[in-house]
Amino acid sequence: MKSVYLDNAATTALRPEVVERMTQVLQENYGNASSIHSFGRASKSLLEQCRKNIASYFKVSASEIVFTSGGTEADNLALRSAVRDLGVTEIITSRIEHHAVLHTAEQLQKEYNVRLSYVDLDDCGLVDYSHLQELLQTSDKAIVSLMHINNEIGNILDIECVAKMCKENNALFHTDGVQSVGHYQIDLNKIPIDFMAASAHKFHGPKGVGFCYIRKESGLKPLIFGGEQERGYRAGTESTHNIVGMDEALKIAYTNLAVEKDYISELKTYFIQQLKDNLENVSFNGGCEDAINSTYTLVNVCLPIAPEKAPMLQFQLDLKGIACSKGSACQSGSSQQSHVLSAILDDDKLKRPSVRFSFSIFNTKEELDYVVKVLKAFVNS
């Protein structure tokens, strides 16, 4: 049986170079970065070099990069402190955000009685910028939280446009960049984003580590209290080997970005065409077929399968060694329909199974041919 991994939006395989670098640090740099002896100083030096490196990719200062356990913590840090400490009275978001944002916003509404507003979306799930402008103009002090790239349907937000609108309306702008960091160049010196979340395991780095970009002099306060690590923003002993792994993965990602983007884009284009050629009435959710408004890393497919057969699809794909998902891995244990697809699809399409296939540099056209063959056999069975 073949083994085909097409769930890279959920997590990615570690690059061999990352494993090698992390192993070296685990063996040689085990000192606590907060200790003042030579072992601690060596770890501290590594951390600060990683911070400088990561900051350089986004053209910001090292002091604006705060290491976290991942994107969820970074989202929580930005949103909770904005409401608790920065006088925010309204959170403007969309109904297709990751639950790290949606559930945090809902909880903040309960705790602080902030207004929670949702920007309108078109039929493909793209943000209605005119409606966003209307919401901003009627708000006293808002934070806009909209993800750069949607993790289920791949829609790309015009973050430069949103950042400009927020600045003109004296609003803060937070973006979940978990699906875009390592896959797109983001110039935070040019784009006035206030807060951005990132997670290493989405770009072939280790799990359990990420960062929050916090624009200097923002006034943001800690989410986790204890020691004075991370310039007081985030207490707790830093995971040196994970941070080094994230730095190594990001360096490789941006060094090879153009070549790898072309390769993966070709895979996506090829896969879409093969699906069209082999499956009648197949369709694509969101802006998946749009090379401009959708990321090159994933496709969300609505398959022409009868509702009674739909529950068996994921099981059959798994039996054939194919890893993919029906939505975010963070809600894979839920029996509910994807909240993203529920927000944009009509009832007829929601009855049909939709599957997210997400690609990496480690995938091949031969693997995609195999997946199409398996799907075709299941549809016609």
DSSP 58: T
The strand pairing partners of 181, in sequence order, are 184
Q: Which of the listed residues 255, 286, 312 is the one where a domain comes to its end?
A: 255
Q: Which of the listed residues 229, 255, 281 is the one where a domain comes to its end?
A: 255
Q: Is the pLDDT of residue 361 over 60?
A: yes
Annotated catalytic residue within 212, 302, 324, 330: 330
CATH of the domain at 313: 3.90.1150.10
Domain that holds residue 247: 16-255
Q: What is the rounded distance in angstroms from the CA atom of residue 45 to the CA atom of residue 250? A: 18
Q: Is the pLDDT of residue 1 over 80?
A: no
Q: What is the rounded distance in angstroms from the CA atom of residue 336 to the CA atom of residue 113? A: 28
State residue 335's pLDDT score: 54
Q: Convert the pLDDT of each residue in 150-201 to its tens digit.
A: 999 999 999 999 999 999 999 999 999 999 999 999 999 999 999 999 999 9
Q: For the stretch 121-131, what's the b/e string if a residue is b when 16 or more beta carbons lie within 10 angstroms of its beta carbon?
A: beebbbbeeee
State residue 327's pLDDT score: 60
Q: 32-46, 54-68, 295-309, 328-342 — which is least confidently predicted?
A: 328-342
Are 210 and 109 part of one and the same domain? yes
As a whole number, the mean pLDDT across the chain is 95
Q: Convert the pLDDT of each residue in 80-139 to its tens digit.
A: 999 999 999 999 999 999 999 999 999 999 999 999 999 999 999 999 999 999 999 999
Q: Convert the pLDDT of each residue in 9-34 to its tens digit.
A: 999 999 999 999 999 999 999 999 99
Are 187 and 46 part of one and the same domain? yes
State residue 333's pLDDT score: 46
Is the Cβ–Cβ distance between 222 and 265 less than 8 Å?
A: no
Are 205 and 291 part of one and the same domain? no
Are 207 and 302 part of one and the same domain? no
Is the Cβ–Cβ distance between 90 and 117 less than 8 Å?
A: yes
Are 270 and 222 part of one and the same domain? no
Region 47-61: what's the mean pLDDT? 98
Are 211 and 145 part of one and the same domain? yes
State the total domains in the chain.
Answer: 2
Question: What SS3 state is found at 159?
Answer: helix
Residue type, 114: V
The token duo for 91 is 């959170």
Q: Name the strand (E) or helix (H) holding 255.
A: helix 240-255
Are 129 and 226 part of one and the same domain? yes
For the chain, the farthest-separated pair of C-alpha atoms sits apart, in whole angstroms, at 67
Q: Is the pLDDT of residue 328 over 70?
A: no
Region 363-379: what's the mean pLDDT? 96
Are 115 and 169 part of one and the same domain? yes
Are 223 and 297 part of one and the same domain? no
166 is catalytic: no
Is the Cβ–Cβ distance between 142 and 89 less than 8 Å?
A: yes
Q: Which of the listed residues 191, 225, 255 is the one where a domain comes to its end?
A: 255
Q: How many CA atoms lie within 13 A of 374 on its CB side?
A: 21
Are 338 and 300 part of one and the same domain? yes
Are 222 and 296 part of one and the same domain? no
Are 52 and 159 part of one and the same domain? yes
